Amino acid sequence: MVEQLKTLARMQLLDDQIGKFKHLQLELPKQLNNLIDAVDQAQVQLLESETHRSQIVKKIKSLELEIKQHNDQIKKYSGQLSEIKTNKEYKALNSEIAYLKTKISDIESIILELMDQEALFKQQVDKDKAVLEEAEKHKREKEGDLRRQIDALEKQIEETRSARNEMALTLPVNVIKHYGSLIKHKNNQAIAYNNAGACSGCGMVLRQQIRIELQLRKKIITCESCSRILLDYFDTLEQ
């Protein structure tokens, strides 16, 4: 009987291990997705700030072209000034030239503002590039390892499970069935211990009679509350 109790304790340790593997099966793909998402997000962010920057550069170029057109016009008007006969026409052309010069100076102020903005976006682009580089580096370093771990889990679970099943072969069929049902329905925890007089599975205080029977180790005892198989801490874990 003692041997059976020890076997049950060992089986529970293996099922604990299987539980950890299963948890990793949920957790590791999330970590992998986070790595990939971080790179995707950094790429989107960089594209956004590069687009903003290039829009500003384009705007500056088109304003510079406008200035050039105004300057050409001024040159043309200045050439015409010498050919003008009346004072009225002369005045009209001069005021047209003055108007174009004011326009040029307005556009120049706008260009200066845009250049400030462009400088800010350039800083943002540099920052986003650094973030992307960091995310890619992180992904390069971790991705392969994570994928290997994920791929290995199924096999690890399979191996642990068959080791547990092998142990179970030495137990009576009704005990195996009870154990299996507890694993399934009691949160992967079939075995509970006498924890200072209470069931470690559900916390129920154990009757004196049960405690004595646990120490005697003559039969398999189950918790009257959660029906987990009860073992005595010192008897089972240390051997």
Task: Find the shortest distance in angstroms from Cβ 210 to Zn ion.
Answer: 10
Residue 173 and residue 170: Cα distance in Å, rounded? 9
Q: Which backbone phi and psi does 231 adopt, to 5 degrees?
A: -130, 160
Nearer to Zn ion (CB atom), residue 63 or residue 202: 202
Which C-beta is closer to Zn ion: that of 167 or that of 204? 204
Say if CB 188 and CB 222 are below 8 A apart.
no
Give whichever of 135 and 210 is closer to Zn ion, judged by the CB atom: 210
> Taking CB under 5 A as the rule, does residue 225 contact Zn ion?
yes
Q: Segment near Zn ion (CB under 5 A), from 26-34, 75-83, 132-140, 199-207? A: 199-207
Tell me which residues in 124-153 interact with Zn ion (CB under 5 A).
Answer: none
Judge whether 196 and 23 are in contact, CB under 8 Å: no
Separation CA 22–CA 9 (nearest Å): 20
Nearest distance in Å: CB 32, Zn ion: 38
Closest CA to 204 of 228, 183, 180, 178: 228
226 binds Zn ion, rule: CB under 5 A = yes
How far, CA to CA in Å, does 195 sit from each of 2, 20, 205? 19, 23, 9
Closest to Zn ion by CB, 7 vs 200, is 200
Q: DSSP state, 102? A: H
User: From the CB of 29, what's the least distance to Zn ion, in Å?
Assistant: 34
Residue 97, interface with Zn ion (CB under 5 A)? no
Closer of 135 and 199 to Zn ion (Cβ): 199
d(CA 222, CA 239): 21
CB 194 within 8 A of CB 237: no
Q: How far is the CB of 203 from Zn ion (least distance, A)?
A: 7
How many degrees, rounded to 5, is the angle at CA 31 between CA 26 and CA 35? Answer: 150
Q: Is 189 helix (H, G, I), strand (E, B) or coil?
A: coil
Binding of Zn ion by 201 (CB under 5 A): yes
Candidate segments 14-22, 46-54, 156-164, 198-206, binder of Zn ion by CB under 5 A: 198-206
Q: Does 104 bind Zn ion (CB under 5 A)?
A: no
How many chain residues touch Zn ion (CB under 5 A)? 7
Neighbour-count burial for 104-141, b at 16+ CB within 10 Å, e otherwise: beeeeeebeebeeebeebeebbeebeebbeebeeebee
- Residue 223 found at the interface with Zn ion (CB under 5 A): yes
**Among 202, 211, 213, 222, which residue sits at the site for Zn ion (rule: CB under 5 A)?**
202
- Residue closer to Zn ion, measured from CB, 71 or 215: 215
Contact between 172 and 69 under an 8 Å Cβ cutoff? The reply is no
199 is a site residue for Zn ion (CB under 5 A): yes
User: Which residues contact Zn ion by CB under 5 A?
Assistant: 199, 201-202, 204, 223, 225-226
